Amino acid sequence: MQKKTIYTTRFTAAETLCNLFQSRSSVKILFDSNVEKYNLPSRDRNLAMNLIYGVLRQRQFLDRILQKLSKTPLHKLHPFVHQTLAVGLYQIFFLERIPHSAAVNEAVNSCKAKGIPKRLHGFVNGILRETIRQKEHKNLTENALTEKNGQPVYNHPHWLVNRWINHFGRQEAARICNENSKEPLLVLRINTTLISTADFYRQLDQQEIAHHPGIYCPDSVVLPHSHGSIGSIPGFEEGFFQVQDEAAQLATLLLTPFKNGGKYLDGCAGLGGKTNHILQLGLEHDLIIHAVEPKQRQLQKLLENQRRLFPGRHLFVHEENLQDFARNNTIQFDGILIDAPCSGTGVTGRHPDIRWNREEQDLLQYRARQLDLLKQGAKLLKPEGLLVYTTCSLEPEENQDVIHTFLSTHSDFTLTNCAEQLPEAAHQLVKNNLFCPHPSATIDGFFGARMRRK
């Protein structure tokens, strides 16, 4: 009887990385597909995702190690062998709890499961064992921290690093890249309509879950050592919190102050983090809230969270894009949030596949779409209404340039100061009236502009 092939955590990680570099698709979608395809047990999924994200955050460093030790050029390596080695190297350099021997053996077993020629099993084994031997001398690590041209290894595409150096200076660009190479901290927004901050902290204390307040937002809490299932955090089923970075929490505040009984629209709702934050902030103002989202999967997730967080609260949802909604509706809104689809270069620490999936020419395509979304939003806004534009990008083409172009063609709008609606601690994140934090420990790179119709 033929022995059944077992597809392990490391195999799934290497296969997902291969799929990613071949398709430029979302790593989350590829991973979920492979988990189902290879029947990966739920207990192994966190480690597999940790390996995938770790390799993506350290990709160039790991490739430099391979360049030092392999006589075969990287572009000639079998793609699966390349990614299997990257997964093994990541464990050796960054995961202290995994024995080096396990990293080597699992890499070889992954090659066997994939049907890689036997001669390459020895190649994989030899590279990883030589890495372990040389790692102790530290010369290998130090040499791998610089490119062949002597420049530092930033673990980001060269085109993106060069842009950031031009826009922010070499020191800040290096800091952003370094921040993006760390595993981000888990940040929650406490649902203060159901539980007080003090009571939520007490629940965390009872479970001995380390926590501390966020830096900028009064309803935020950081769980620095939590990396497992969100559902295991006390209060999830009861709706006591939602996962949301501090930048996204601050972005929703740009819609304030709310008008009592006013109508508000989230024009690009996505998974609904900001939509549900509007529900939370607007509870005492008796707001009428609409959300537009064309993708059924994301809209379903939005509604699941809304029912968990705000049972009994009504939300008008529209499964269509903003252009169709603007064409088919005569509703006029007091405030509209356009959280526009973008390159996502501000959240490449949280979503490291983004940095390898984007190309510089993508920025102008996003810009055209973003301008159109702002124009559609403007059609739906009342006189003296607020139009808030946000992205999770650091690129001027998608941010400042979009706002300047919109204002130059819409003389009935004026830019207001974002700082006036944000907590004092967040005023440092506002420049030239625009909300534009760079990535740091508890906040993503973001952009926000607040415009009022005259």
Give the residue numbers annotated as catalytic, written as ranges: 392
Amino acid sitting at position 206: Q
| Distance separating alpha carbons of residues 444 and 348, to the nearest angstrom | 9
Does residue 141 contact residue 135 with C-beta atoms inside 8 Å? yes
Q: Dihedrals φ, ψ of 429, to 5°? A: -90, 0
Q: Dihedrals φ, ψ of 362, to 5°? A: -65, -25
Does residue 216 contact residue 425 with C-beta atoms inside 8 Å? yes
Q: Quick count: other Cβ atoms within 10 Å of Cβ 331?
A: 13
Residue holding tokens 């064309």?
294
Is 415 in a helix, a strand, or coil? Answer: strand
**Range 421-426, long-range pairs (CB < 8 A, 24+ positions):** 421/253, 421/254, 421/256, 421/257, 421/450, 422/216, 422/250, 422/253, 422/254, 423/216, 423/217, 423/218, 423/250, 423/253, 425/215, 425/216, 426/216, 426/217, 426/250
Does residue 388 contact residue 354 with C-beta atoms inside 8 Å? no
Amino acid sitting at position 395: E
Helix axes 79-94, 100-114, angle to 10 degrees: 170
DSSP string, 379-404: HTEEEEEEEEEEES---GGGTHHHHH
- Bridge partners of 220, per DSSP, are 189
Angle, vertex CA 428, rays to CA 161 and CA 257, nearest 5: 115
Dihedral angle sign, alpha carbons of residues 81, 87, 89, 91:
negative
| Distance separating alpha carbons of residues 126 and 402, to the nearest angstrom | 52
Q: Peptide bond before 257: cis, by omega within 30 degrees of 0? A: yes
- The structure tokens listed for 291 are 């959300």
- Bridge partners of 243, per DSSP, are 188
Does residue 242 contact residue 248 with C-beta atoms inside 8 Å? no
